Structure 1
Amino acid sequence: MLSHKGPIVRNAMTIDVEDYFQVSAFAAHIARDSWDSQPCRVERNIARILALLDEHHTHATFFTLGWIAERYPQLVRAIVDNGHELASHGYGHQRASDLTPEQFRADITRAKGLLEDIGGVAVRGYRAPSFSIGSRNLWALETLREAGHSYSSSIYPVVHDHYGMPEAPRFAFRPLNDDLQEFPPSTVHLFGRNLPAGGGGYFRLMPYALSRWLMRRVNNTDGEPCMFYFHPWEIDPEQPRQTGIGFKTRFRHYVNLDRMEGRIAHLLRDFQWDRVDRVFMKDAA
């Protein structure tokens, strides 16, 4: 059994602020121009997450869509007022790999400006929707740097059918050999491959004890902090159910939604957590 004794490691807790109808897997089923007519549930879910974090005296980083910020500015202010880090998830949840360089620049610039104007704080971090920066569009990192971002959490070093760059480093690195830093979601290297240990659907699917073991291995064997992520819709089993979607998409999206909030609470008790900038950025206050 892997021991969890030793120095306490602070890990990075992150939330990708988007609503259920904006996930990439539903893009072919829910038209983008219908988003404003969809029942929006992100406000109530973020309120629950803020209360949960406050209960456990935890601060986190919220990678927030500009589309959400524009329509729910009070949500952005609540994130900042509660001491959390405000970061960017782009404007319209379009995968970076689907955008031209000009479109990508416009998307991240629009989102960063909106978030900073509403939140009244500098936005240093960015996470691409669906971790959609990889070997084929590394140019996006230079664009992020030029737009004023200090770090990204957009490259997932795993094999996946929709994203992933398995050859990328598992821990923090400087992909451009300059100021921009990349902080990948956590993985554990076992059996010759990187196994996801950083949250999302994997966390909902795996037994909690296995997820905890993987994260403790990152802390104790690798001596590194974990980068964990989840979405507001993942704690919302009552969200509107989509029809006409395939079995794989349905399973990935809806599996164990009713258990997620309880598992997050366990996670907040079992590990030490903080904002990305405080965990990884040496110059953060």
Structure 2
Amino acid sequence: MTCDVEDYFQVSAFAPYIDRASWPTRECRVEANMDRILALFERHGVRATFFTLGWIAERYPNVVKRIVAGGHELASHGYGHLRASDQSRAEFANDVRSSKALLEDIGGQAVLGYRAPSFSIGRDNLWALDVLLEAGYRYSSSIYPVAHDHYGMPEAPRFAFYPNGTDGLLEVPITTVHMMGRNLPAGGGGYFRLLPYALSRWMMAKVNKDDCQPALFYFPPWEIDPDQPRPEGVGAKSRFRHYVNIDRMEGRIEALARDFAWDRMDRIFLNK
């Protein structure tokens, strides 16, 4: 189980409509949403990995401390939700090193995992994996083996793999189900909110049973917050993707917590 700790105004789909300079003045709802998520996980004995933005950690250090106190894994989502594909190698190196140091200073535990905003590592910037290894990360969850208009590397392996050999960085993709000649998203995002819950549950159970692999699920805190502010001027496609069935999401996360056994990524994939 993983959570990308970011707020509603930081998503890549809203970038054309929300000036980054306005972030500090916007209503930030991540603290209250994280309280609900951590309480839900505690009720069901879920331990998770939280890929946390440095921007959030810097302003809300108690969120980081509550993650660690709850027995969860603290991991990096970069500093300011800049897509890896939009950064030079030097810029990316600075981003992942500074966010790692910041999180470790606040959380008091080693940060071993990284997830690129919008799964923005793919065939054109695989050098980013070497940068992560050099910065001290052990694994990444940044390559999504699907075809998507914003991201995706459908030819990538569906399950955990070492892109550069076993002495390199471990890459752990979000869960997909291979059907009808393509990989279908089965581990979160808008598809999880759009599709009937029973179908999503079936796909994850299929991966467990038929592929003998753990399912990797993700969601951000804003997905359980139907009362979040709604920025003006956002295009219809982005509005649909962001808000579809958002009022049902918390109940679906609760169902996932009941229907499957969940743990942290470092324990499952690094045997920590």
TM above 0.5, one fold?
yes
Amino acid across the alignment from 2:73: E
Equivalent runs, 1:44-83 vs 2, <5 Å: 44-83=32-71
Equivalent runs, 1:159-198 vs 2, <5 Å: 159-177=147-165, 178-198=167-187
Deviation of 1:179 after TM superposition, in Å, equals: 3.2
Deviation of 1:280 after TM superposition, in Å, equals: 1.2
Q: Deviations over 1:93-140 (max 9, x none)?
A: 000000000110111111000000000000000000000000000000
Deviation of 1:243 after TM superposition, in Å, equals: 1.7
For residue 239 of structure 1, what is the aligned residue in structure 2? 228
Query: 2:47 is paired with a residue of what secondary structure?
Result: coil
For residue 35 of structure 1, what is the aligned residue in structure 2? 23
For residue 197 of structure 2, what is the aligned residue in structure 1? 208
Equivalent runs, 1:111-260 vs 2, <5 Å: 111-177=99-165, 178-260=167-249
Amino acid across the alignment from 2:97: T
Where structure 2 has 5 or more consecutive residues not aligned to the other structure, the ranges are none
CA RMSD of aligned residues (A): 0.6
Deviation of 1:281 after TM superposition, in Å, equals: 1.2
Query: Which stretches of structure 1, 4 residues or more, deviate above 2 A after TM superposition?
Result: none
For residue 280 of structure 1, what is the aligned residue in structure 2? 269
Deviation of 1:240 after TM superposition, in Å, equals: 0.2
Deviation of 1:176 after TM superposition, in Å, equals: 1.3
State the distance in 1 between where 2:53 and 2:47 align.
19
Identical counterparts, % of pairs: 69
State the distance in 1 between where 2:123 and 2:45 align.
38
State the distance in 2 between where 1:225 and 1:57 align.
17
Query: 1:272 is paired with a residue of what secondary structure?
Result: coil
Query: 1:273 is paired with a residue of what secondary structure?
Result: coil
TM-score norm. by structure 2 comes to 0.99
Where structure 1 has 5 or more consecutive residues not aligned to the other structure, the ranges are 1-12
Do structure 1's residue 92 and structure 2's residue 80 form an aligned pair? yes
State the distance in 2 between where 1:218 and 1:240 align.
36
State the distance in 1 between where 2:126 and 2:45 align.
37
Aligned residues, how many?
271
Query: 1:189 is paired with a residue of what secondary structure?
Result: strand
Do structure 1's residue 20 and structure 2's residue 8 form an aligned pair? yes
Amino acid across the alignment from 2:186: A
> Taking CA–CA contacts closer than 8 Å with sequence separation of 6 or more, which of the two structures ends up with the larger relative contact order?
1
Pick aligned residue for 1:267 from 253, 256, 266: 256
For residue 7 of structure 1, what is the aligned residue in structure 2? none
Amino acid across the alignment from 1:279: I
Deviation of 1:201 after TM superposition, in Å, equals: 1.1
Q: Deviations over 1:227-276 (max 9, x none)?
A: 10000000000000122111110000001110000000000110110000
TM-score norm. by structure 1 comes to 0.94
Query: 1:87 is paired with a residue of what secondary structure?
Result: strand
Deviation of 1:44 after TM superposition, in Å, equals: 0.2
Amino acid across the alignment from 2:176: T
